[in-house]
Amino acid sequence: MKTIIIKTSKREEIVDITQKIEKLVKDVKKGIALIYVPHATTAITINENYDPNVCKDFLNFLKKLIPQGVWLHDRIDANGDAHLKAALIGPSEAIPIENGRLLLGTWQSIMFCEFDGPRERKIYVNIIKE
């Protein structure tokens, strides 16, 4: 298992981690990359990153769907929305690998979602070879 460290700079942001994962799988003939975040206020998703507006739209949609400051958990540490967003998106993705390449679509990227930053975060990558 490999660990990637990400330092986020905003409360909410999306970071493209595709190139970091590609470096880890370059010598794998065939398998699966399992990407997992061990944080209750972060998530992993796959989406387009060619147009940066997709990431902005994604965050704006989640802000409208799950607003900040209205949840019972906010009484403890004011991040109830971050927990809900992370749970909705999910902490992991599994991506097939073939001939050292992630089998992502043309416009797909692997995105780390920060909902309660800025912080230093870990991403675990487990490569299962066939």
pLDDT digits (tens, 9 = 90+) for 32-65: 999 999 999 999 999 998 898 999 999 999 999 9
pLDDT at 52: 86
Rounded Cα distance, 122 and 108, in Å: 22
Distant-in-sequence, close-in-space partners of 74: CB < 8 Å, separation ≥ 6:
68, 80, 81
Rounded Cα distance, 93 and 108, in Å: 13
Residue 36 backbone dihedrals phi, psi, to 5 degrees: -140, 140
User: Do 10 and 118 touch, CB atoms closer than 8 A?
Assistant: yes
Q: What CATH number should be reported for the domain holding residue 39? A: 2.60.120.460
Q: What is the pTM of this model?
A: 0.95
Mean local confidence (pLDDT), 9-16: 97
Which residue range(s) make up the domain with 33? 2-129
pLDDT at 68: 96
- Give the count of domains, the chain: 1
pLDDT digits (tens, 9 = 90+) for 72-88: 999 999 999 999 999 99
Helix (H, G, I), strand (E, B) or coil at 122: strand
